[in-house]
Structure 1
Amino acid sequence: MLILIKDILPVISMSLIVSLSSTVMAAAAGITIGVLAGLKDFKLKKVMVRLLETLMSTPPVLMGLLVYLLLSRKGILGSLELLFTPTAMIIAQTLLVFPIIIGLTISSTQKQGREIKKNCEVLGASRFKTLLTIIIEMKEQLLTIAATGFGRAISEVGAVMMVGGNIKDHTRVMTTYIALETGKGNFEGAIIIGVILLSISLIINVILHKFRGSEIDEY
């Protein structure tokens, strides 16, 4: 059991580092762009939304292939030597999560954000204060969107395995560990990691509800 703990602790920490990093970066950019795009109408907005909807359902292995080609020796970013590193995994997960966050943010902002914007304009608020107010007032929806992105990131297998290589104590994460150990017939280790993965998801949801304020009591 001690050997098993030594094996799974680096896997858990790597999963959290990669998934949290990619979610934070995708959320920072996606929410900002999503709010701005949701508040305005422009010519290519419908095209942008359709493209985002397509990217939201992009197969992870396809995204992994694209990142792999970019980071390989013959790729545009090959000189950086990022392939088979945690950084490569973060890049892949960020690209997977970003369309989800920006797409959902645009949808939410078009429904609620425009009303908040009108009220801010009546009060004479600056553009920055208006944007900040919208983000604060929509924090419940935005936290839910960020949690959705995190769920996509931490449950990803194909892309991170392709660009990370599933290297022990270096790029192995919980999902790739489960796939590897299941293939080896080590169902005990795979189940333990699976339970931990579900527990992390539960903890994230509990934290989310703490920030949002419990709505269950209303029913």
Structure 2
Amino acid sequence: MVSEADPDEAGTSVWRAVGPVAPVRRRSESPSGLDRDRITAATVRLLDAEGLARFSMRRLATELGVTAMSLYWYVDTRHDLLELALDSALGGQRLPVGPAARDTWPDRLRELARGYRELLAEHPWVVPLSVVHPNIGPHARAFDAALQRLLDDAGLVGAGRTGAHLAVCRFLTGGGPIGCDGSGRRAPDADFGLALDVLIAGIEAKTGAATTGGSRG
């Protein structure tokens, strides 16, 4: 999902870079067998296997069988590579594309939330990276667009819509999928389902209040 970085980091995102993501160099000079997609995929695998704390460009180079300096032909910094890996991981979630004949916005929110919960189980490093890096890549934006569409269907506008969007984002990146006890452990399925029901009930209450307020006007 889309989240903004701290102001000091706002200009450093790979997604805000002007021009190519990596420096342009002559193809004949680039290390054989590497490309940015392969490096990003290897980064995701390494983060899944060993975690964020152990990740380094040197460790990644060893995994790929190249020198660490070879990686910098394709990414400018470690920061850029972690952003690319973050968005690549988010691309693994199937998003609800729109209301089907029997779908309601709560159905689609449940699908979105459960899909993100599974993504976090597969890639537990996604949340800590989302906190410290701008999460504004194409897959993050697609996730947010899916969330915005279901909020459209909920009928919320103004402050109510802003609050609902914030509540869903905070739920997904914190207490809902992984629990609120500070352990980082996956919340039990029943607890997650109950918390999601409470979140949806709160949005429905706001939707009803907005409808009532509009009818009084």
TM-score, structure 1 as length reference: 0.29
Q: Greater helix percent: which structure?
A: 1
The structure, 1 or 2, with the larger RCO (C-alpha pairs under 8 Å, 6+ apart) is: 1
